[in-house]
């Protein structure tokens, strides 16, 4: 039964009482009331209650009128059922809110898209809420922030654990913490502390407020027994009403019983108030004016596009209707209640449509997330046997993972199960990936041992004087080194330097012996030394072509001077630096200058059998640079995918395009250099 309907029968009988003049039966006021109550008890039946039969002026409806009334009520009961449901919902909500004065503040706090925030942004948002809002008003916000932080931090831990295991770590030794986690925990701990303090204070206040309201009820009971002027009693009654309204919240489980008891005794006082009809009519008029204002506001809210704001204010209007205002005249009751209930139904219907639209969005998000999970599962079924293939899959999974986190909320009843499916699909991928890389690590450690064996051979023979027997051996282990696959990255540079040092030590010794017996090489060194000294004083003209011809002529002359001893090869580097300086001073295309420099460098490398390692080293270096540039280009092109909705004239996008162009020009140059080396083989 709705709020107004709960009081209708009682209020109707009160209206009847208002038409009866005080009986002149020789009794005191109290005696007259007692007599009237006795008469009321005699006239109660199962269909309706007549509060008081004090004189022959009271009209009791006949049976036909009752039947007609019941038929009309039955006809409209189905129509009113939904309206009654939402009114009951509002009353229950108001009962809960009665325990917490902070609920109004809660509605004013902006609800942000916490699911799209980073870990650091979530920590900052929690700190802002603690700083700027009442702790009792932010519970739903904090709960959402905490849930999102836990989800995203667990995903981060999973990532770090994968990296740890891929690097050969033992799962039992894994541990990870971060400053943002510490920051969030401190803020959340402070929130819990403040909330506990609030509830402890609130509990104390709720109990005291309940005691105060029960005391008001007791005073209401005693009003009808006071032997004083009715105007004085009425004034006392109004004071009690004001005290009731200003008394703070009480425990929600006591709310309905306390209010019903209060309302019951207010009605009893109105029964008593028939002794002074002017006062009661004045109260009826006041209540009618206030209720009409409430109805007008409710009808305005029914046109408000902000559905949730309208519904929250509607709750307040129902609270005012129920708690702050008494009955109105009988002729207005049903009309104004039906108007109020109609406006309530319109607002609630719009709220239901609003929730349905939100549900559609959540359902769409659910479809997106389930599709992402299906894509991850599809990747899990694909077989990969190479590092490059797995790297591609890792990038795909990372993109899907980010898409999952950015897909938005799903229906709350499916949130946990959807998250569980996502975690399981990612776990399966990680298990497969870890199994592959564990096998790859095993193979890399096997390759490491093979290369360590070659290093031992090189170091055992680097000081050998048996050049005829040792030289073929040293060349063979260099060739074998190239055929062995990858080793763990942390060991790669270290063992290469060891191997290179041992081999160079042997071949430098070999070359030193040959150079000692080769006076021609020494003569060539002396000539190049003199030539280099003269070259430093070379004067160029103002014409680019002439200057280029002069520089090339110097390079040609340098080549004719012959080969210098190995221990004097540093002079070739000095010559190259000098030529590079001259070329750089010319106003020429950068790539053209680079190629001239490179050709000059190649000419300085002796391509005899003993010095093939110099070309090998140069070729390996260039291939490594080509791979690095390709990797940088791929990274930049991947970065462009994040700017799909950004105009090409955006400065950041322009910069990325320019970087890609620069790297592609560099790649072209390195490939040209590699081709030059291939031509020498």
Domain residue spans of the chain: 100-226, 614-681
Structure tokens at 319: 């609270």
pLDDT for res 81 = 52
Percentage of residues in the chain with pLDDT exceeding 70? 80
In this predicted structure, the answer to whether residue 186 has a pLDDT above a threshold of 80 is yes
CA distance 591 to 671: 12
CA distance 472 to 18: 128
- Tell me the per-residue pLDDT of 401-447, one tens digit each, with 9 for 90 and over: 889 888 888 888 888 889 889 888 988 888 888 888 777 778 888 88
- Smallest Cα–Cα separation from 528: which of 554, 551, 548, 547? 554
pLDDT for res 9 = 33
Contact at 8 Å (CB) between 122 and 184? yes
Q: State the pLDDT confidence band at 373, using cuts at 50, 70 and 90.
A: very high
In this predicted structure, the answer to whether residue 375 has a pLDDT above a threshold of 90 is yes
pLDDT for res 20 = 28
The 10 Å Cβ neighbour count of residue 469 is 9
On the 0-12 / 13-18 / 19+ scale of CB atoms within 10 A, 264 is: middle
- Tell me the per-residue pLDDT of 250-259, one tens digit each, with 9 for 90 and over: 887 788 788 8
What would the mean pLDDT of 494-519 be, rounded to a whole number? 84
Q: How far is CA 392 from CA 222, 287, 388, 389, 433, in A?
A: 84, 74, 6, 5, 12
Q: How far is CA 198 from CA 133, 139, 208, 255, 642, in A?
A: 13, 12, 15, 20, 46
Lowest mean pLDDT among 118-127, 141-150, 591-600: 591-600
Residue given tokens 């939100």 in the structure block: 358
| Most confident among 3-17, 18-32, 483-497, 598-612 (mean pLDDT) | 483-497
Q: State the pLDDT confidence band at 605, using cuts at 50, 70 and 90.
A: low
- Smallest Cα–Cα separation from 51: which of 88, 10, 79, 18? 10
pTM of the model: 0.40
- Tell me the per-residue pLDDT of 47-59, one tens digit each, with 9 for 90 and over: 222 232 222 222 2
Q: State the pLDDT confidence band at 105, using cuts at 50, 70 and 90.
A: very low
């Amino acid at each position: 039964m709705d709020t107004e309907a709960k009081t209708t029968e009682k209020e109707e009988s009160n209206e009847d009482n208002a038409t009866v003049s005080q009986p002149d039966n020789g009794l005191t006021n109290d005696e007259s009331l007692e007599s009237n109550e006795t008469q009321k008890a005699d006239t109660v039946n199962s269909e309706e209650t007549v509060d008081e039969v004090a004189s022959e002026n009271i009209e009791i409806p006949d049976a036909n009128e009752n039947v007609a009334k019941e038929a009309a009520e039955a006809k409209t009961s189905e129509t009113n059922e939904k309206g009654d449901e939402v009114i009951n919902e509002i009353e229950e909500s108001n009962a809960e809110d009665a325990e917490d004065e902070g609920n109004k503040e809660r509605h004013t706090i902006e609800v942000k898209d916490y699911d799209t925030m980073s870990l650091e942004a979530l920590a900052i948002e929690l700190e802002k809420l603690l700083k700027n809002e009442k702790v009792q008003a932010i519970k739903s916000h904090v709960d959402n922030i905490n849930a999102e932080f836990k989800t995203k931090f667990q995903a981060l831990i999973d990532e770090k654990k994968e990296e740890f295991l891929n690097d050969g770590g033992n799962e039992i030794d894994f541990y990870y913490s971060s400053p943002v986690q510490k920051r969030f925990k401190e803020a959340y701990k402070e929130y819990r502390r403040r909330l506990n303090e609030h509830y402890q204070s609130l509990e104390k206040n709720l109990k005291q407020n309940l005691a105060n309201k029960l005391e008001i009820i007791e005073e209401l009971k005693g009003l009808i027994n006071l032997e004083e002027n009715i105007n004085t009693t009425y004034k006392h009654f109004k004071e009690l009403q004001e005290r009731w309204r200003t008394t703070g919240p009480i425990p929600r489980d006591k709310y309905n019983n306390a209010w019903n008891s209060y309302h019951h005794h207010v009605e009893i006082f109105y029964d008593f108030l028939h002794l002074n009809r002017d006062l009661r009519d004045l109260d009826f008029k006041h209540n009618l004016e206030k209720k009409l204002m409430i109805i007008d506001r409710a009808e305005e809210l029914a046109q408000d596009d902000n559905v949730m704001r309208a519904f929250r204010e509607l709750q307040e209007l129902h609270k005012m209707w129920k708690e702050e205002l008494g009955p109105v005249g009988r002729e207005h009751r049903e009309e104004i209640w039906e108007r109020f209930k109609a406006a309530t139904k319109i607002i609630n219907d719009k709220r239901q449509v609003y929730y349905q639209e939100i549900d559609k969005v959540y359902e769409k998000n659910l479809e997106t997330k389930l599709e992402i999970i299906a894509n991850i599962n599809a990747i899990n079924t694909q077989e990969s046997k190479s590092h490059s293939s797995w790297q591609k899959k890792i990038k795909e999974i990372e993109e899907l993972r980010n898409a999952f986190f950015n897909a938005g909320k799903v229906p709350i009843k499916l949130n946990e199960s959807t998250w569980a499916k996502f975690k399981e699909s990612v776990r399966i991928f990680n298990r497969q990936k870890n199994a592959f890389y564990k096998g790859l690590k095993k193979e890399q450690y096997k390759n490491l041992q093979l290369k360590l064996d070659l290093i031992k051979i090189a170091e055992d023979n680097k000081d050998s004087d048996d050049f005829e027997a040792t030289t073929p051996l040293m060349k063979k282990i260099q060739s074998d080194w190239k055929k062995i696959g990858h080793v763990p990255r942390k060991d790669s540079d270290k063992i290469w330097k060891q191997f290179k040092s041992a081999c160079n030590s042997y071949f430098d010794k070999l070359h030193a012996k040959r150079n000692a017996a080769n006076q021609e090489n020494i003569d060539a060194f002396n000539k190049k030394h003199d030539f280099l000294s003269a070259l430093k004083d070379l004067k160029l003209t103002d014409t680019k072509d002439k200057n280029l011809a002069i520089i090339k002529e110097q390079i040609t002359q340098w080549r004719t001077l012959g080969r210098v001893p190995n221990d004097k090869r540093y002079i070739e580097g000095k010559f190259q630096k000098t030529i590079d300086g001259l070329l750089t001073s010319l106003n020429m295309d950068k790539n053209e200058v680079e190629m001239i420099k490179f050709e000059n460098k190649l000419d300085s490398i002796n391509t005899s059998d003993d010095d093939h390692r110099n070309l090998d080293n140069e070729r390996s270096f260039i291939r490594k640079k080509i791979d690095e540039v390709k990797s940088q280009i791929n990274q930049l092109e991947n970065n462009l995918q994040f700017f799909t909705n950004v105009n090409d004239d955006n400065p950041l996008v322009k910069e990325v395009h320019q970087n890609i162009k620069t790297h592609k020009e560099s790649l072209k140059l390195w490939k040209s250099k590699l081709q030059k080396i291939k031509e020498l083989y």
